[in-house]
């Protein structure tokens, strides 16, 4: 893709990038007409300060028409990438690294590949965070139960109270999934899956997972195959 140029009132404004950008949905506008900063902010649902911040961090530049910032089509396409990355809370440093890599691409396929790799990397980061949150939530549950008077195994009818995460884990245990596979399907590490399983076994007053499953079947919490 060649470097684009816009001329506003005698001032030659150059796009802030060479290379290619991934194809993302753009705000509806006339591509031949630049956007003023207010229109740019409205188009992406951000504030003027956000656009200034992106400029300060080197993510985005604007052309000038006198003292006013204006954005051409290539600026808008670049902002679409930045906005998509911020929607998934990608760190500024990672976005800058992605844009730098995109500036060196020689074809559209290369740009699309780099963007996909960045998304997959972010998904892995979020999955790791999710596993940590699940482990922390499970630990909070255990601490609350302990503070409420011990193991809190069940109510007067002997019904064992499981959290949604524990119920999901119990289902997989009943299907014969080992902890490693449970960790995979529930997107957590093996240590978290083992901790979750141990908590379930404790709640049932069982010695191992097989006794816990048997008690769950007898209580009607799960159905025997």
pLDDT digits (tens, 9 = 90+) for 72-86: 999 999 999 999 999
C-alpha span between 73 and 151 (Å, rounded): 62
> What would the pLDDT profile of 106-155 be if each residue is shown by its tens digit?
999 999 999 999 999 999 898 888 877 877 877 777 777 677 654 444 54
Stretch(es) of the chain classified as CATH 3.40.50.2300: 129-218
CATH T-level fold of 5-106: Multidrug-efflux Transporter Regulator; Chain: A; Domain 2 (1.10.1660)
DSSP letter at 160?
A: B
**Could you confirm whether domain 129-218 is CATH 1.20.840.10?**
no
pLDDT of 149 reads 57
Q: What is the 3-state secondary structure (H, E, C) of 17-39?
A: CCCCCCCCCCCCCCCCCCEEHHH
Stretch(es) of the chain classified as CATH 1.10.1660.10: 5-106
Q: Are 168 and 186 in contact (CB under 8 A)?
A: yes
Burial 16-39 (b: 16+ CB within 10 A, else e): bbbbbbbeeeeeeeeeeebbeeee
> What would the pLDDT profile of 173-217 be if each residue is shown by its tens digit?
999 999 999 988 988 888 888 988 998 998 888 999 999 999 988
């Amino acid at each position: 893709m060649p470097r684009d140029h816009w001329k506003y009132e005698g001032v030659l404004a150059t796009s802030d990038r060479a290379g290619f950008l991934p194809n993302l949905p753009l705000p509806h506008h006339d591509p031949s007409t630049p956007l003023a900063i207010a229109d740019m902010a409205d188009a992406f649902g951000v504030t003027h300060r956000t656009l200034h911040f992106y400029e300060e961090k080197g993510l985005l530049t604007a052309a000038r028409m006198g003292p006013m910032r204006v954005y051409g089509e290539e600026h808008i396409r670049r902002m679409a990438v930045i906005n998509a990355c911020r929607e998934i809370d990608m760190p500024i440093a990672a976005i800058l690294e992605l844009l730098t890599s995109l500036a060196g691409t020689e074809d559209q396929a290369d740009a699309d590949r780099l963007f996909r790799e960045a998304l997959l990397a972010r998904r892995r980061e979020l999955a790791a965070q999710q596993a940590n949150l699940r482990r922390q939530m499970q630990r909070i549950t255990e601490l609350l139960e302990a503070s409420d008077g011990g193991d809190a195994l069940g109510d007067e009818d002997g019904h064992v109270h499981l959290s949604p995460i524990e119920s999901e884990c119990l289902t997989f245990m009943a299907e014969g999934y080992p902890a490693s596979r449970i960790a995979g399907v529930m997107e957590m590490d093996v240590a978290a899956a083992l901790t979750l399983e141990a908590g379930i076994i404790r709640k049932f007053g069982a010695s191992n997972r097989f006794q816990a499953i048997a008690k769950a079947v007898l209580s009607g919490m799960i159905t025997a195959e």
